[in-house]
Structure formats: C-alpha cells, structure tokens
Amino acid sequence: MSKKMVIIGAGPGGYIAALRGAALGGQVTLIERENLGGTCLNWGCIPSKIMKNSADLFLKCLEAGKFGIQIDGHILPDMKAIMARKQIVLESQRKGIAALLQSRGVHVQKGCGVIRSKNLVQVTGSDGQQTDLGFDRLIIAVGTKPMDVPDFPFDHQKILSSNDILVLDQIPEAMTIVGGGVIGCEFAFIFSALGCAVTVVEAMSRLLPLPSVDEACSKQLLREMKKRKIKVFCDTIVTRADTTKDGVEIFLAPSPFTDNPRPQPLKTDKIASQVMAVCIGRTPLSEGLGLENIGLTLKGPGWIPVNKHMETCVKNVYAIGDILGPDKIMLAHVASHEGLVAAENAMKQATDPKSIMAYEVVPGAIFTMPEIGTVGLSENEANARGFEVETASVNFRVLGKAQAIDEIAGEAKMIIEKKTGKVLGVHLIGPHATDLIAEATLAIEKGMTAAEIAHTIHAHPTLAEIMGEVASKAIGMPLHG
C-alpha cells in the first residue's frame, strides 16, 4: 500500500519534493494557496532576472556605438513592457510546473492548508470550501515573506517591500534601498541601469556582509557601484522615514550593528528619495499553520528546526526551504535539494538507510552587475576554522573573451589549503560568474586540488578560462594573470 504524502507549499522545495515522492510511489497531494513556483518563481529569482536581462540589454544598446552598431532615435526603457514580458514568462513557467506535476500523478489542491492533527490537514479554498486530507507523511515548505519593519511599515506606494519593487509600472527618479545584501544590491544595479538615481544604506561595514562572500568581492562590488554613480552608506541605519507629497524623507544614524571598529562619520543625517525599498530580511510563514496541533516546537520568530534528514521533532513530519531559517542556507536550489532528501526519507522503510542533506558545498549566485558566484569557504572562514591557506587572484581582464565582449571588470579568487593543495573556496565577481561557479562547485565537492584544475584544458576563448588561470597562479605557475 503506497503512502499518502501531503506537502504544504509549492515553491522550489515543495514541488520538487512532490515530484520525487510520486516517482517513489507515493500518493502525493501538493497544497498551494497562491501560484505554483513559490517566492522564487513569482516574487524573487525569476522576475528579478527578467528585469536584469532588460537592464543589461538597455545598457548594451546605450553602448552600441563602441561595438560598431549605429542605433538611430531614442532608446528608452519601458517599464510597463518589461512587466508585461515578466508576466508572460512567469505564466509559462507556472504552466510548465503544473503540466509536470500532472504527468507524474501529483494532485494539486488550491487553498490554505492548516494542520488539524498528526494525520490530517484541512484546506480552505478561496470560495471558503473546506477539504480534509489525511496523510501518512507531511512535508512543510511554506517559505517566508518580506520582513515589515515597525519603524517604517510598508505603504506599498512610497515605502516598498521587495515584492512591491517587482510590480512597479514606472521607473522612480530616485530610490533608496535599505539593506546592502543580495536582494538590495541586485535591485540597486537593475534600477541604476534603467536610469534611476539609487542610494544603498547598509548597517554593516561592507556590501554583501555574508560569511560566504569573500571580502574581495564586496570591495570590487563597491567600486562598480561607484562607477555607476550608486551612492552607498555603510555603517549606517535608517531610523525613520517620513512620507511627503513628493516622496520620502529618510533619517540616518550611525549603525550600532556594524563590525567596523572605526566607521567613517556620517556625511549627512537625512536624504530625500521618491521611494524607499526595504530589503533587510524575511519573516517565516509558520503562523496560522496549526503546528501547535501536532506539538511542533518553533525557534525564534517561527523557524522550524530539523535534523540532517529534514525530519522535525514530530514523527513523519518534515520541513524544507526558507521556513528552516538562517541556520540553514535560504536559497532556492538548496530548498530543492532539501525537498529531494525529505521525500526520499518519507518514502523509505524504517530499516532503510536515510538520505542526508549536506550543506558544505553549496554554490551562491548573486545577479549584480557584474555577477558574483561563490562556493566553499571565504578566506576569513578558512582562517577561522584553523586552515593554513594560500590565496590567488586573477582579474577577468586577462581573458581574451572578456575583452571581446567588453566585460573586463571583476576577478577570481581561490582559497587553497597550503598542506594539501585542495581547493577550499572559489569566489568570482565578473561576467557570467553565476554560471562559471559550477566548475568550482564540482571541484570542491570532489576534493580536487588547484593543480588538478590547472591541468584541466579549458576551451579558448571562453570566460571559463578564468578557472584555469587562477588555479595556475595558485600553484605558483601563473599564465596571464
């Protein structure tokens, strides 16, 4: 008799878990109250990349003359058209997921799911009709929403969430972004490229203040922002934001959270902007889920703790994705892999060896301009863990392909263990870095040395040659770098 599996949330973790559960013979029901694809497809990864592609193309058009291409007439971004294309792409992706689920025999139940007992989920549809679903295994994949800051709550007109930014039908003249993390930096480059005057306010001492992002990438990114006339205030917080007839008056103060022992004094304590976008965190969507009905204890503001098998403290109940919180890695591709692990373990017999979720080698992809790709340890992380390391860096400008496409900004940095020569981390900032990081991910996953990468033939002329260049330098045999 096959197991009944219910999954709440159809994001990149939930729908992948559903596909794997069905492939393993489960009777799978996937509950989703909004659109298939979750935050990643509808409010994050995909829509922001659609906007970035338009911004990239617009910049190329402005520079067409240097490539020998004459464009007559005005070149202007059309935000309404960008949003219309975004909707077409998203709808196509949703239909694709729906068709895939249907072909694998997964039943999709639209509505809001609430756990009523250890074997029952109740779903309330938009029409108020309720459906009871019994289950043998439950996977929770409900995700998060943008964090609302009480000091300046979203009005969705002048004080915006990251969701609001993705539905703007015009380009603001000036935008202040609160938060210099991944989301804030990506939007800063997109809107700056489209002609908006952008200011970024970050509480820490650097942009992208994440342990997994090497400081070298942050420094290079700051230089690129300055080139694009993006104003950056690090070591700074927003204390208040007053909406006015023309926009927002934003009050600044020195950050009490900064890790900078000698922060620079503020040049101003007030700035004006047409809109302010708040990109400083996510809130768990665990409230109202009925977790108390099964005795599932939460952590912090509502994160669900799990073990390495994605099991919660309640038997036969699993959790995956962003609802696990910052203790795990809140990325779409991580959620998908967690979904595979959870579904496999849910379908196994008690005597079968369990699948394990490993977080040691997870690539990061940041779609700034230029892009950033990271995997493994940063130099600071490696030192903190007691490794004796050597590092090597090579600029993208040494590559013929980078010169040919006129995208020469950026560098590759490799961190290797001095004793063994093994690659511990690779951090790329440059053209197509989010694609190029795949080779480094495989290398670290398989325990390869810098010498092995250096002796791997890379096609010429390609951007992938950057891995061979930085590896050769790491072993003391630099080529062009």
User: Which positions are annotated as active-site residues?
Assistant: 460
The alpha carbon of 448 is separated from its chain's Cα centroid by a whole number of angstroms, namely: 27
Token representation of residue 111: 């509505």
Burial class from Cβ neighbours inside 10 Å (0-12, 13-18, 19+) for residue 332 reads buried
Report how far residue 20's alpha carbon sits from residue 1's, in angstroms, rounded to the nearest whole number: 18
In degrees, rounded to 5, the angle at the alpha carbon of residue 148 between the alpha carbons of residues 146 and 153 is 135
Name 394's Cβ contacts closer than 8 Å, sequence gap at least 6. 411, 412, 466, 469, 470, 473, 478, 480, 481
Which stretches of 290-331 are DSSP H helices?
none
Residue 66 DSSP one-character state: G
Report how far residue 397's alpha carbon sits from residue 343's, in angstroms, rounded to the nearest whole number: 45
Q: How far from 108 is each of 8, 157, 343, CA to CA, in Å? A: 10, 34, 16
Is residue 463 within 8 A of residue 431, CB to CB? The reply is yes
Q: How far from 326 is each of 303, 330, 331, CA to CA, in Å? A: 9, 6, 10
Token representation of residue 46: 């995909």
Residue type, 39: T
